[in-house]
Amino acid sequence: MENFKLGEHCIALVAVEVIRFLAKAEEHFLSRVRADAPPVHLNELMHHCHVSVQTLSLVLQKIVAGHADLTNQIMADTQLLTSIMDLNLSILHNEMFLLDCRCCCAMNAFILLQLPLTDGEAAEK
């Protein structure tokens, strides 16, 4: 989305749906991660989870955080917020996951916690 204002605008128009899709994708991949899975398959699933989490973080940071109306829509959907936070915490607590993915989940959780704060409040915290 960097240096692509038209793309940012298009994503902003459907941001809530994009976030729901990414949360469902993350849930889908996470539900298939098992300790008895073949290593190649497990690595592939973790990579898919990581990309889903990264993309979700990017949408939250670049699109939602800059628009008060989108932030309010996301904050009003407590089921979606709870689902995303639960998924992040599940990955954070699962030591099988790649460190990059777990780190991205921690950043994602921080972004979610910071969303309702104004820029001034966020800077103070």
Domain residue limits, the chain:
5-119
Per-residue b/e over 50-74, b at no fewer than 16 CB within 10 Å? bbbbbbbbbbbbebbbeeeebbeeb
For residue 114, give the nearest of 80, 79, 85 by alpha carbon: 85
Decide if pLDDT at 124 tops 70: no
Q: Note the pLDDT of residue 15.
A: 92
Give the DSSP H/E element, type plus range, for residue 95. none
Which amino acid is present at 73? Q
The residue written with tokens 């992040």 in the block is 88
Q: Note the pLDDT of residue 66.
A: 77
- For the stretch 18-74, pLDDT in tens is 999 999 999 999 999 998 989 999 999 999 999 999 999 999 998 888 788 889 999
Token pair belonging to 117: 């704060």
DSSP 37: S
The residue written with tokens 């290593």 in the block is 39
